[in-house]
Structure 1
Amino acid sequence: MKFLLLVFMIATFGLSNPLQEAINLAKDGDTLWLNDGIYSGNVVVDKAITIIGKGQNVVIKGDKTSSVIKVTSKNVKLINLNIEGSGISQMTLDAGISCLNGNNLLVEKNRIKDVLFGVELSQCNGSIIRDNNITSKEGFDIPQRGDAIRAWYSHENLIEKNYVYNSRDIVAWFSSSNTIRGNYGHGNRYAIHTMYSSNNLIEENKFSYGAVGMYFMFSTKSLVKNNTIIGSSGAFGVGIALKDVSDFDIKDNILLYNARGFYLDRSPLNPGALNSFENNQILHNIVGVQLHATQERSIFLNNDFIGNMDTAINDTPGSKIDQIYWEGNYFDEYEGYDLDRNGIGDVSYVNFVYADRLWQYYPTLRFFYGSSIISGLNFLAKLAPFSEPIKLLEDKSPKMKPNKEKTSV
């Protein structure tokens, strides 16, 4: 393998873009080692080379008109670089690193800022995006920012251990068999957002204080486990949301201090499909589980519901809430007993909806939720129901103690 040492002083030779010239001179398999300094961006990498920053102050700076680095070859590696100064066009997806048909791309240990999109993958498969620090442009409202990492028609990629903040989403659209693992996000919109994707693994991520932790739409057959979502708030604050999603396994997650823990919007979608929620901790949310337009079957097994203002609500008259199966969950409001001391309540936990179903169906009445008026109506309804209460859920085997004793966030 041939190694090229590209020193910043090469600019003294009058080359218009020394970095692009070095890329043009390189051959497949070469490595460009960059000394500390500022290099002009808007470069195109069209061969299988490696670009490595020797120190921590190697800056590749774009002129804010397009992507800083465009990759059009397979087997490219970009390591230990500071990348900044992309354009602001959503139409052309201006990014720090933009990859088109560049399979097996490695993007590792880079610091990417002042860019619209961070890393943009279009039809790039088998790539690794790992251990990068990514943020978007300052001064833009979050919906106008690009995604920290965007995968479009890109499969079998590993997105791992990245720190993304004040950007829009980590997105996988029309992208399957990807692993999104161990990422940390803060102040984003939807920390992870998948659409029309399947067989993805999303695990061990931690996201805090965005609008939505994870939003899965029109997707199937994915595993979501061991993630922590904290403080999702705002108009649609939710830890994990599923819209028209089927055959998902969601387990061992912690949902803490969110407006909603889970939000199920017509999920599962496909007849005969099943979504499973197991061993999750739904803690101190305003609503633990919100059901919307439920038609197909989901199961909740061995989850802990602690400190939520409402364990569950249904906001859609006509929802088939009897399709939701509950077993072995812990509810901190359970008032049953355990005479045989087997750890399981001897009577079912049943959640009835009384007068407060009004605010579930008519959101404008939520202004009065928790007021003496609604509390009084609920109290009177339980003593002498003036309408038939709705059984929202029943767990015939409720746990007397939480399934998980300790929570670490």
Structure 2
Amino acid sequence: MKFLALAFLLLSVTTLSAKNVLQDAIDRAPEGSILKLPAGVYKGSVVIDKPLSIIGEGEGVIIDGEDKGTVIKVTSSYVTLKNLKIINSGNRHEKVDAAISVSDASQCEISHCTIDDCLFGIDMQMVHNSLIADNYISSKDVALGLRGDGLRLWYSNDNIIRANSLVKSRDMVIWYSHGNEIVDNYGKNNRYSLHFMYAGKNLIKNNKYELNSVGIFFMYSQDSIAIGNVVKSSQGATGMGIGLKDVSNFTIKDNTVLYCAQGIYIDRSPFEPGTHNWIENNKILYNSEAMHFHSLSENNIIKNNIIAGNIEDIVNDSRGSKTNENEIAFNYWDNYEGFDRNNDGIGDTPHKVYQYADQLWMYDSDVKFFYGSPVISLFNFLAKLAPFTKPLFLMEDDKPRVSKIF
């Protein structure tokens, strides 16, 4: 009965208010009501301040922000938005003009929505135990740095972010937010597909990111797991697959990182004394640099990875990063030059990585213009054959695997 009365209400308010039919229906609806919208264009800039569901019936349910402010603002728990197309937010960054803004709420759901031509997509501030699933999100058609974030969690815990597509947005941001599940999402032509800061105990699983500047970047965070993700073709001279900066007790496992300038970037991680990061069972393939170390980075456990097709296996751009003080074993290196005489699958001699003539470009950015050129390749060959400077020892895998299959 409640639904039937509401459906009649939604149709009847058109004669009462030409200003905002949808807002009138929301204001008149009792708590817990379900508004099922028929196809049509509805005026945005609406506020939902009570438990309520708004569900589009079929295709063609459009909520238009008319280029002013945030299209839908939610300030209540137990709100559901489903099967809607939300377009044309305002373009003010300082006001965080978004398709959907949710604040101080829990047990909300936003699913099967299309967001287009909105500066920010979904902005969540202090939102907990909610579901964001199966949405398509795109920002305004402006330069990358001028777009807003497609999805933003701020002090928001224990949410499920599942199967969303962010395309031509800026970032997906998880800041000061803990215990979230980020699963089966897709990102393309963004800046940071996924950026964490001061976040802990999050699960990042089976996401796919391509043609972004950075795939996944973790900063000042701890106790999280990234498993089964695919990051490919991060763009630009410093395009990055997975980055770790000042993070502790992370597990980076079963991921595939390929066609990036930097496969895995490690900066002062692990950060907390007495902790480790586990980098295991990953495929790091066809990158300019498989693993790039910056600043002091020791006590990482790097095991059972496949490292193949990269121009450089290990890069150390800081003389004090102590790359040789990580636990490195049982990885497959396509550059390994040893033998396996007893056929146990483990090389008879350790795989050692040195820096030769490439030290020139490592500490002088002007020389890096020649990176990958025949000149530097020739210098490296000559340096290995008859070193004219002392090579820098980077790391040793004392039990290298000789097969990619394990």
- TM range, normalised to the smaller chain? over 0.9
1:382 pairs with 373, 381, 384, which one? 384
Q: Does 1:202 pair with 2:210?
A: no
Give the total of aligned pairs: 403
Partner of 1:19: 22
How many Å separate the matches in 1 of 2:390 and 2:27?
76
Q: Deviations over 1:330-380 (max 9, x none)?
A: 011112111111111111111111111121122221112233432332222
2:335 pairs with 318, 333, 336, which one? 333
With normalisation by structure 2, the TM-score equals 0.96
Partner of 2:33: 30
Q: 1:77: Cα distance to partner?
A: 0.2
2:363 pairs with 343, 361, 364, which one? 361
Tell me the amino acid that sits aligned with residue 168 of structure 1.
Answer: R
Partner of 1:105: 108
With normalisation by structure 1, the TM-score equals 0.96
Which stretches of structure 1, 4 residues or longer, exceed 4 Å deviation after superposition?
Answer: 6-10
1:192 pairs with 191, 194, 200, which one? 194
Q: Secondary structure at the match of 2:260?
A: coil
Q: Deviations over 1:16-59 (max 9, x none)?
A: 21100110011111100000000000000000010000011000
Q: How does 1:218-229 map to 2 (within 5 A)?
A: 218-229=220-231
CA contact (8 A) 1:224 1:250 kept: yes
Tell me the amino acid that sits aligned with residue 40 of structure 1.
Answer: K
Partner of 1:45: 48
- Uncovered stretches (5+) of structure 2, i.e. residues with no partner: none
How many Å separate the matches in 2 of 1:324 and 1:330?
16
2:326 pairs with 316, 324, 327, which one? 324
Partner of 1:82: 85
Partner of 1:342: 344
How many Å separate the matches in 2 of 1:373 and 1:96?
52
Q: Secondary structure at the match of 1:376?
A: helix
Q: Secondary structure at the match of 1:312?
A: strand
CA contact (8 A) 1:317 1:361 kept: no
Q: 1:115: Cα distance to partner?
A: 0.5
- Uncovered stretches (5+) of structure 1, i.e. residues with no partner: 405-409
How many Å separate the matches in 1 of 2:311 and 2:345?
25
How many Å separate the matches in 2 of 1:143 and 1:341?
53
How many Å separate the matches in 2 of 1:237 and 1:9?
55
Q: 1:291: Cα distance to partner?
A: 0.3
Tell me the amino acid that sits aligned with residue 211 of structure 1.
Answer: S
Partner of 2:136: 133
Q: Which one is further off, 37-46 or 339-348?
A: 339-348
The verdict on how the C-alpha distance between 1:28 and 1:43 changes in structure 2, with shifts beyond 3 A counting, is: same
How many Å separate the matches in 2 of 1:23 and 1:198?
37
RMSD after superposition = 1.4
Partner of 1:243: 245
Partner of 1:407: none
Tell me the amino acid that sits aligned with residue 352 of structure 1.
Answer: Y
Q: Does 1:2 pair with 2:2?
A: yes
Tell me the amino acid that sits aligned with residue 207 of structure 2.
Answer: N
